[in-house]
Chain A
Amino acid sequence: MSTPVADLLAVYPESPPVDLARTLDLAGYRWKAVSSASEASSHEPASGWAGAVVACDVDAEGAWAFCSALRRRELAVEPLLVLISGAQLADLELRHDLFDDFCITPCHPVEIETRLRHLFARGGGAVRPDLVQYNGLVLNLETYQATIAGTPLDLTYMEYELLKFLAQNPGKVFTREILLSRVWGYEYYGGARTVDVHVRRLRAKLGEEHANVIETVRSVGYRFGQSRWSA
């Protein structure tokens, strides 16, 4: 069976039930057990956790604290599957935002596997819609932060907005007028030169190595990344 999700799942607690571990292994999931939310943060892979499976039957209080920490982060971890015993069902009350699905233990391995597969199918797999990535440039749309080759790129608000718009539409050519109206809004005064000024500023900040990610298309405008028609 092929790996359903290439990225890493966080599993709680640190020594998860043996059945759960075996089920995940057999289903081909890559996972790492962690003892706390802070450990989850320090062990988090660069691309973020692909999801989490939390077993509540050993330490319910710790498990729910773990869930809520993962959900309260700027980039909430999802999908999140909890395993609880029938006696703990009442705990689900008022915690709907802390999990995406649950299994009642003891449960059949096929049930865990099926529920996980459904969760990933619904969530579009491990794809994070709030990250825009292109050749080492990463924009986190939720935190407004940009990094280039892992180093923070400090941008002013308008520089960030322009880069975001371009990076979300790679390969497409935009005229200055379109960029002005889409990024600055129609009420902005100053003309299309403003776009040139900001493109120049962005290129300077991206550094020589990455400056050409925004290409000037002669007498038309600008394009982010390779043309859709070239190889």
Chain B
Amino acid sequence: MLDQQRDYVLRTVEERGVRLVRLWFTDVLGNLKSFAISPAELENALEDGMTFDGSAIDGFSRVQEADVLAMPDANTFEVLPWGDSKSVEARVFCDIHNLDGTPFEGDPRQVLRRNLGAARDQGYAFYVAPDIEFFYFAPPEKGQAPVPLDEGGFFDLTTTDVSGTLRKETIRTLETMSIPVEYSFHEDAPSQHEIDLRHTDALTMADSVMTFRLVVKEVAAKHGVHATFMPKPLEGVQGSGMHMHFSLFKGDDNAFYSEDDPYNLSPIAKQFMAGLLHHAAELTAITNQTVNSYKRLVPGFEAPVHISWARNNRSGLIRVPVAKRGNPSATRIEYRSTDPACNPYLAMSVILAAGLRGIAEGYELPPEADANLFEMDDSSLTKLGIDTLPQSLSDSLKVMERSTLVQEALGEHIFEWFLRNKRNEWRSYKTHVSQFEFDRYLRAL
């Protein structure tokens, strides 16, 4: 099988006249990294991997050994649909190994592989479908606030034409890259869009999210537009989330489905949800990893604030969407706090780990919170036992650093590096004096 895959890739490179093969991987913060090799080196790369100096890459550097090995995953080999037809380029996702062949601890893709392996040992396959939101802006000037396309003046065409064209072209490109789209629409905020992807296994989906972010930006840039996944780019309107739909399959059966439950949720689904709720605060630094992420997680903009679940309640952290009747495989849960600036490999890893912990320990699912939690005061929420998500990156990091669950899910290397890196981010944010403060204090005090 592996030999055939390799032959397939090598033959395709030859037949399609591929001139450059881009080896893709992801750093700890979720940035797509790439280096290119010539087709002549590809056979060797597929066989033995390509050695490179990882010390320049965030979270990859270690004191003693800086060299790591990129092993292309032949099944992710894909001809890139952009660029000129005379010099065709292709990409392949890589797993990063140490020189001795063991998985490299700083590689998020390997972290997800390890967590999926743990699920597989219990007989589970983890399926994910994200709804990804983003904004289109005029190319940003340094230090300036973003300018939505809808504000006019930027384009001769009406804005709906421009963003409609962009979205259509984006979807076409995604579909030629094995990323089927389920829905797409203009979101509530000006210049905001949402594209929902069809479910796949988690590893493929994490790869797809990386490709997705690049495709959205590439297509926009081609039209002189800047696309951003910044969680809250505009004050006063809703931010960009990445709601994720999850299910666990055991063979061909959806382990989340039960005929007997009013919501068709199996005991496994309820324990998984209980695990997620129980550990939600601990994994928030991973699902919402920027200072800006927490400006989205505020009341009034359809983002979750409270650690709760409901069938249909937009203020809750977990929603249980109504599956189409007669389709057990569509039974799933939707986790709503994640934003599109996260590292998808790490986010799926910690979410899966929390859910599996819930199953392993048989956690009890708290009662559904179907009231509008935003309208309740703190004491009534406390009475219901409903907590809030961490309110800032700093709060999130404090909860995360005490979490053995997150530490185990990420592995020591990434856990330590992430905390160190993000504490630095928080420290530099803390020293920043903002417009808010000038407006509020400069004259008054």
A197 touches B12 (CB 8 A): no
Contact between chains at A205 and B178 (CB < 8 Å) = yes
The answer to the question of A150 belonging to the interface, with a C-beta cut-off of 8 Å to chain B, is: no
- The answer, among B76, B81, B176, B201, for a CB contact under 8 Å with A194, is B201
Q: Does B12 contact A145, Cβ atoms closer than 8 Å?
A: yes
A204 in the interface (beta carbon within 8 A): yes
Closest to A158 in B: B75
Q: Give the residue among A158, A185, A189, A193 with the most B Cβ atoms within 10 A.
A: A193
B175 and A143 contacting across the interface, CB-CB below 8 Å: no
Quick check: is B329 within 8 A (CB to CB) of the other chain?
A: yes
Among B7, B74, B251, max chain A CB count under 10 A is at B251
Which residues of A lie under 8 Å from residue B78 when comparing CB positions? 154, 156
Among the listed B11, B77, B81, which residue makes an inter-chain contact with A143, where contact means beta carbons less than 8 Å apart?
B11
Q: Determine if A193 and B1 form an interchain contact, defined as CB atoms under 8 angstroms apart.
A: no
- Give the one of B5, B8, B74 with max A CB within 10 A: B8
A95: Cβ under 8 A from any B Cβ: no
Give Cα A197 to B329, complex, Å: 13
CB of A144 within 8 A of CB of B8, answer yes
Q: Are B120 and A189 in contact (CB under 8 A)?
A: yes
Are A197 and B16 also in contact (CB < 8 A) when A159-B178, A204-B180 are? no
Closest to B85 in A: A152
Chain B residue numbers with a CB within 8 Å of A74 are 15
Q: Does B198 contact A (CB under 8 A)?
A: yes
User: For residue A194, which residue of chain B has the nearest CB?
Assistant: B201
Contact in complex: A191, B178 (CB < 8 Å): no
Residue of B nearest to A185 (CB): B1
A197 contact set on B, CB distance < 8 A:
198-201, 204
Check B79 for interface membership: any CB of A closer than 8 A: yes
**Inter-subunit contact A192/B252 (CB<8 Å):** yes
In the assembled complex, A124 has its CB within 8 A of some CB on chain B: no
Given contacts A145-B12, A200-B180, A204-B175, contact A191 B198 (CB under 8 A): no
Q: Which residues of chain B come closer than 8 Å to A205, judged between CB atoms? A: 175-176, 178
Closest CB of chain A to B91's CB: distance in Å?
11
A71 within 8 A of B: no
Let me know if A191 and B175 touch, CB within 8 A.
Answer: no
Q: Please indicate the chain B residues that have their CB under 8 angstroms from the CB of A157 in the complex.
A: 4-5, 8-9, 74-75, 77
The residues of B that contact A154 with a CB separation of less than 8 Å are: 12, 16, 78-79, 81, 176
From known contacts A154-B78, A157-B74, A193-B127, infer whether A145 and B200 are also in contact, taking CB-CB under 8 Å. no
Decide: A190 and B8 in contact? CB cutoff 8 A. Answer: no
Give A176 to B15 CA distance when docked, in angstroms. Answer: 31
Per a CB cutoff under 8 Å, which of B12, B127, B178, B252 touches A144?
Answer: B12
In chain A, residues 181-196, which have Cβ atoms closer than 8 Å to a Cβ of chain B? 185, 189-194
Roughly how many angstroms separate A160 CA and B251 CA in the complex, as a whole number?
Answer: 24
A191 x B200 contact (CB < 8 A): no
Task: Determine how close the nearest CB of chain B comes to the CB of A199; give it in whole angstroms.
Answer: 10
Q: Name which residue of chain B comes closest to A201, CB basis.
A: B178
Question: Is B28 located at the chain interface by the 8 A CB criterion?
Answer: no
In the bound complex, what is the Cα–Cα distance between A145 and B75 (angstroms)?
16
Q: How far is the CA of A145 from the CA of B13 in the complex (A)?
A: 10
Mostly, the B contact residues are mixed
Q: Does B426 contact A (CB under 8 A)?
A: no
Interface presence of B249 (CB below 8 A): yes
Are B180 and A191 within 8 A (Cβ)?
A: no
How far apart are the CA atoms of A201 and B16 in the complex, in Å? 20
B346 within 8 A of A: no
Inter-chain CA distance A203–B125, complex, in Å, is: 24
Residues of B within 8 A of A176 (CB): 252
State the CA gap A204–B181 with chains docked (Å). Answer: 9
Q: A residues within 8 A CB of B4?
A: 157
With most chain B CB atoms within 10 A of its CB, the pick from A159, A177, A191 is A191
**B10 nearest in chain A by CB position:** A144
Q: Which residues of B contact A185 (CB under 8 A)?
A: 1
Closest to A154 in B: B79
* Most chain B beta-carbon neighbours within 10 Å: one of A156, A189, A190, A192: A156
A152-B16, A156-B78 given; A190·B175 CB < 8 A:
no
Chain B residues with Cβ below 8 Å from A203 are 180
Interface centre among A157, A176, A194, by most B CB within 10 Å? A157
Bound Cα distance A194, B201 (Å): 8
How many angstroms from the CA of A154 to the CA of B81 in the assembled complex? Answer: 9
Q: How far is the CB of A230 from chain B (nearest CB, A)?
A: 27
Which residues on A sit within 8 Å (CB–CB) of B77? 156-157
Contact B75 A144 (CB under 8 A): no
Contacts of B199 in A (CB 8 A): 197
Contact (Cβ within 8 A) A191 B249: yes
Which A residues from 122 to 161 make CB contacts under 8 A with B?
A: 143-145, 152, 154, 156-160
Are the CB atoms of B11 and A190 closer together than 8 Å?
Answer: no
Chain A contacts for B8, CB-based, 8 A: 144, 157, 160
Nearest CB on B from A146, distance (A)? 10
Complex-state Cα separation, A200 to B208, whole angstroms: 15
The 7 closest A-B pairs by CB, nearest first: A204-B175, A154-B79, A157-B8, A204-B180, A192-B252, A201-B178, A200-B180
CB<8 Å pairs between A and B, sample of 9? A144-B7, A145-B15, A154-B12, A177-B252, A191-B252, A193-B127, A193-B249, A200-B180, A200-B198
Since A189-B120, A190-B201 are in contact, a sample of 16 more A-B pairs with Cβ atoms closer than 8 Å, ordered by chain A residue number, is A74-B15, A144-B8, A152-B16, A154-B176, A156-B77, A157-B8, A157-B9, A176-B252, A191-B125, A197-B198, A201-B179, A201-B180, A204-B175, A204-B176, A204-B180, A205-B175
A residues near B (Cβ < 8 Å) are 74, 143-145, 152, 154, 156-160, 176-177, 185, 189-194, 197, 200-201, 203-205
